[in-house]
Every structure is written in C-alpha cells, then in structure tokens.
Amino acid sequence: MPKMEASSSTSHDPALFHAPLLHHPRRRSSRPLKGFAVIIGSVVFLLSLVILIVNQSPEPLASNPSSVTQAGSYSMAAQPRGIAEGVSAKSNPSLFDKVGFNWTNAMFYWQRTAYHFQPQKNWMNGPLYHKGWYHLFYQYNPDSAIWGNITWGHAVSKDLIHWFYLPLAMVPDQWYDINGCWTGSATLLPDGRIVMLYTGSTNDSVQVQNLAYPANLSDPLLLQWLKYPGNPVVVPPTGIEDEEFRDPTTAWLGPDGSWRIAVGTRFNTTIGTALVFQTTNFSDYELLDGVLHAVPGTGMWECVDFYPVAINGSVGLDTTALGPGIKHVLKASLDDTKVDHYAIGTYDMITDKWTPDNPEEDVGIGLKVDYGRYYASKTFFDQSKQRRILYGWVNETDSEADDLEKGWASIQTIPRSVLYDNKTGTHLLQWPVEEVESLRLNATVFKDVVVEAGSVVPLDIGTATQLDILAEFEIETLVSNSTEDEVSDCGDGAVDRSTYGPFGVLVIADDSLSELTPIYFRPLNTSDGSLETYFCADETRSSKAPDVTKRVYGGKIPVLDDENYNMRVLVDHSVVESFGEGGRTVITSRVYPTEAIYGAARLFLFNNASGVNVKATLKIWEMNSAFIRPFPFEETLFQEMVAST
C-alpha cells in the first residue's frame, strides 16, 4: 500500500477518542459547545434532504415513502431466477421466508451508489479501449430490475470513473441468441479490427458462441454492431451439455500464428473445465485435443479468464504476451458456489496446457479473486496505459421484491489494476485504478491513534457515506501467549475475540453502534507459535432489516516480516470494497442499513483483541460523486470531443 502522506490535511489528537468494548453500548462522548450550531445545521440540512428525496425520487420507487410492499407478499419460484435458464442466479432463496422490511424511499435512494457504475435502472461483458474511450459492455435487462431478457448494455468513459450511457449494443433478436445475449469478450487484432465473441442461448436453449464486430471502426463510440451472418461459430462439442458451454475468453495468438480462445464447461457434472479452440479467421474453429485445464469437484466454470502477468514488472501485459519472465493466470467463476477463483501457473504454448504452480491452490480450491459478494469478473488490457484492468459484478443481497420496488439492481466494482505479487510469488495484487483518486475531496489524517484492547474509537470526520480510507496498524503485545487460538479464520465476526484480533475499522455505523460493518485483521496463533492472519468483513450487524443476506467474509492474507497491517477501504453507500496488504486479499460487501444512512453514517476504529493494543495511522478522504448519465448527443461540445478522437 502507498505510504501515508504528510499533508496539510486536518489532524486530530488521538487522546480524545476512546469508548468501551465493541459489542457493548458506547458511552456518548462529550462535544465542545462550538460544535452545537454545526450539529443543528446538519440536522436541518438532513431533514431538508430527506424531504427532497421523498418528493423527487425516481418513478420506480414506491409512491408511499413510509410503506413498501413486503417481500413475503411477492410470489417467487423456489429456485433462484436464472438457474432454470442455465446461468447464475440473481435472487436469494434464503430470504424467501423472511418478513419484508418496510423500506422507505429515502432508504432506497441512499442505497444507490455515487461513484460506482450501474445502469440508470433495471438489472445489470467485454470491456475494451478504442480511440480514446473506454467501453463497458454489460448484461442488462431493459425491462425489469430482475434477471431476464438479457441484452448488451453499453457505456463509455474517458477515465473509467465518469460514464456515459449509450444505446444498447446488442439485443437477442436471432435464433442463435433469442434467449439471451450473454457474456462475451473482445479481441483487438494487430490491424486495428475488433472482434467480439459472445454466448447466445438459442431458440432451443442451446448455448453457442457467436461473432460480432463494429459496423464502423472509425466511430470512437462504436455505436453499431453487426452479427456475423454465419453464426453460431462454435457449438457444444460431442459430450458437452447443451446448457453448460459458455463465456468465450479474449483470444491470444499462438506461436504457430493461429488464435486460441477458451470456453468454460464441465465434465460429468462435477469437473470444471476450460476447452481450447483454434482459429485463423474467427469464423471457423477447431477444438484442440485435451483441455487447457480441469479441476475435479469444482462444477461448471463460467466467465473463464486467461491472461499473462510479468513476474518482475509494474505494467500489465497484452493477452498474447508469451516468453520468459511471464506467468499465466487462469480464473473461473464457479457456478455451483457463485465465487470467482484464480490460480497462477505456467502455460505450455506447444501443448496448450496450463499447470498451476501449487496444485493445492488450484482453480476452484484455492485463492479467490474477491472473498466477498463478487462474481463474473473479467479483465482487459488497457493499451493506452500498459495495464491490465479487472471488472467484477456485484449483485444485491436484498430480496427481488425490494429490487423491483426500488427499480434497479447490481453494480460494477471500481476497476482494479492487476499485477503479480513478486514479494509473495503466490498472489495477485488488485488495486483501484488511479483515476478514482480524482474524486477525492478534503482529507483528514489521524496519526498514531492508540486503540486499547476491547475498545472502540470514534473518528470525527463528519458524514461517512462516501470515503476512501488508507489505514495502517501496528500491534503492541500485552501478554506472552503462545498457545494456539481457539478461534479459526474470520470467526463468527468481529465480536469473536482472540489474542491478537480482530482490529480494524467500523464503516457505515451509527452513533449507537446498532448498525455497523467491521473491516478487520485477525492474526491467529498457530500450533507452531507463528501468526496466521485473516482479512475479513463482517456484515452480520450491517442492517436491522431481516430480509437481507448478512455474512462474514474473508480469507487468509500473507503479512510479511517487513510489513505492518494495512488496508484501503472504498465506501460508497451500499457497497464497501476492502483491499488488504496492497490488494493481496480483497473483499466486496453489500450493506443496507436502516439507520446508519445520510448524516447518521459514522466511522470508527476498533480493537476487540484480548492481548494487544493497536496503534493506527489513517488518511481519509471524502469522495465526490461520479457523473454517470446518458451521452449528450445533442450537445455540440461533445460532438466535437468525439470527432477529435
């Protein structure tokens, strides 16, 4: 993680902030009299804002701000929506028997993110960079906030942060995709052409791979796409299930001069597999012998991604890069668990086989791309800045009924740069793209804040709904305890105490700590006396609403001898993205508080360890909102901008 900057930002005396143990009620701290006017002003502003939101909420929201249809009154099938169609589920079956919470329009309005990409409304493939514009293609339902009628939405950006919605790129209007235009990947050819391969579900619900390309390469916005008249170009091979064959990768060029793509599937229902096809013209394909890779017990592989990383470098690599000093990452989205896994290994360009460096950490049984609510991720090579960028899809964890009521569902994560972690040699490093820092506003610095064992420390930064947090922690051992901790991994959440943890931050919390989301480290004593650290996010007390999925997420994280514990946390209303140790372990959370919203959202430090004090240094930025809106075709300025690119 970047070092803490010394700046003219606001600093605070750490001695002023102390509170009791995390799971006990916190005593109200005294405030100076001069802050009273500010508090009154904030309350008046908040009330005005709520009134404005209630009166001006978008059409899809409930007409009565104090009453929303309960989830229990909405009829849903027992099987999650999407599974019957052979793709990932949207709905949450575990919530079907929960009593719906009476969400207000103001609560729904708060949940919509401010600087993450999401459609204007309704339900949320192949990203690329072309003539000065980043293009995002995403699966989208133009008719409803639930899964179905999957088309390709299209948006463009100059900086990956501020986005313009464009007309739909592709709709399901042919026999080979009439049941949905699903995930695809773009390949940029050396001569400047762009080819897009995507999965279509046919009129018989057979999954096939189709070819599309821009109608006009000179158009920087790529507004029109043509489907190849000879589609489909790849059909399920013999022995592959018709409904388990999807999501072609970006193509890479082999040493023989032909292109290769991988497609996800499964064998015998349980063996997750990536098949390799070879082509010279992108319209005719040959299935190569064997498989790129397969892992028993992992089930269907969706959204396979395959790309090179430099083992000693600070830049990304084009998908075709081969040779010494390069490893290859194989990633698969596991349909059975809805989790993205990856492994690092070696690609044999002659046999077209990939082998993991560590078979015990193979795809689907080892490292996760993101340990939280995250799926169907996809990378692309940004040739303009020589970096590889990762996108991921984050769905809602409330009920389908709530999604219908508020009129939208699901978002994309902040784009992340991806590099090989040459310090561990075992992990990738994911980090928010540098452009997100353009949204930073005023910063507040806290230096050497001592957080005693069993205490909570409020951080006086005002409203804490849109934040970028850099935090670094040092531990001071209070007891000589080398016995093995009884708590394992992330435990049952932040209330589970162990000798050295948990400690971290409480985001989207209210003053009384009745709602909070801890992001924390948990170092654990092992049987050999060493420390094994986990990086975690605890959603279990993030909301008082019963019809919301709330889990403890996390995974093991290497913390090397010359490193302190450090994290970066992006807070944007109902989504929290957390990056541990420079991005070795990443967790995305969805939270739906009922009280810790608008001006009531607060930020705290906490230390629930039993045997250490923690010293924390933080730099916290309030974040501006991104401009995400329809492309202003009628405005001359933008027409000139497009023409100039």
As given in the structure block, the two tokens for residue 411 are 């978002």
Query: Could you read off the pLDDT of 246-264 as tens digits, one per residue?
Result: 999 999 999 999 999 999 9
Half-sphere exposure of 398 (CA within 13 A, CB side): 32
Percent of all residues in the chain with a pLDDT value above 90, rounded to a whole number: 73
Nearest to 461, CA basis, from 624, 575, 621, 625 = 621
d(CA 202, CA 208): 7
Domain limits for position 279: 122-432
d(CA 266, CA 286): 19
Half-sphere exposure of 364 (CA within 13 A, CB side): 23
Give the end of a domain, one of 432, 453, 487: 432
- 316 in a domain, yes or no? yes
Same domain, 551 and 464: yes
Query: Could you read off the pLDDT of 446-459 as tens digits, one per residue?
Result: 999 999 999 999 99
- Give the count of beta carbons closer than 10 Å to the beta carbon of residue 41: 10
- Give the count of beta carbons closer than 10 Å to the beta carbon of residue 367: 22
Residue 435 gets the label, from left (phi > 0), alpha (psi -120 to 50) or beta, of alpha
- 33 in a domain, yes or no? no
d(CA 164, CA 156): 5
Consecutive H or E run containing 531: strand 531-538
- 338 in a domain, yes or no? yes
pLDDT at 11: 45
Which residues pair with residue 476 across a beta bridge?
A: 613
Same domain, 194 and 243: yes
Q: Which amino acid is at 85?
A: E
Same domain, 402 and 514: no
Same domain, 184 and 330: yes
Q: Do the beta carbons of residue 580 and residue 586 sit within 8 Å? A: yes
Give the end of a domain, one of 432, 459, 477: 432
- 514 in a domain, yes or no? yes
pLDDT at 188: 97
As given in the structure block, the two tokens for residue 484 are 């093995």
Kindly report the CATH number assigned to the domain that includes residue 462: 2.60.120.560
Same domain, 412 and 460: no
Total domains in the chain come to 2
Kindly report the CATH number assigned to the domain that includes residue 268: 2.115.10.20
Q: Is the peptide bond before 432 cis (omega within 30 degrees of 0)?
A: no
- Provide the sign of the torsion angle of the four alpha carbons 601, 602, 608, 609, taken in this order: positive
Same domain, 259 and 393: yes
Query: Could you read off the pLDDT of 147-185 as tens digits, one per residue?
Result: 677 899 999 999 999 999 999 999 999 999 999 999 999
Same domain, 390 and 445: no
pLDDT at 8: 37
Same domain, 462 and 519: yes
d(CA 196, CA 233): 12
pTM of the shown model = 0.86
- 50 in a domain, yes or no? no
Same domain, 462 and 494: yes
pLDDT at 400: 85
pLDDT at 189: 97
Same domain, 451 and 305: no
User: Could you say which residues of the chain have pLDDT below 50?
Assistant: 1-21, 23-81, 83-91, 93-94, 124
- 348 in a domain, yes or no? yes
- 10 in a domain, yes or no? no
Q: Do the beta carbons of residue 264 and residue 288 sit within 8 Å? A: no
Q: Which amino acid is at 282?
A: F
Query: Could you read off the pLDDT of 393-425 as tens digits, one per residue?
Result: 999 999 888 888 888 889 999 999 999 999 999
Same domain, 352 and 281: yes
d(CA 389, CA 469): 21
d(CA 375, CA 394): 6
Give the end of a domain, one of 432, 463, 482: 432
3-state secondary structure of 555: strand
- 45 in a domain, yes or no? no
Q: Which amino acid is at 312?
A: N
pLDDT at 97: 57
Same domain, 301 and 373: yes
Q: Do the beta carbons of residue 233 and residue 263 sit within 8 Å? A: no
As given in the structure block, the two tokens for residue 548 are 């919301």
pLDDT at 482: 58
Whose tokens are 């005396």? That residue is 13
Mean pLDDT of the residues in the chain: 86
3-state secondary structure of 94: helix
Phi, psi (degrees; rounded to nearest 5) at 193: -70, 155
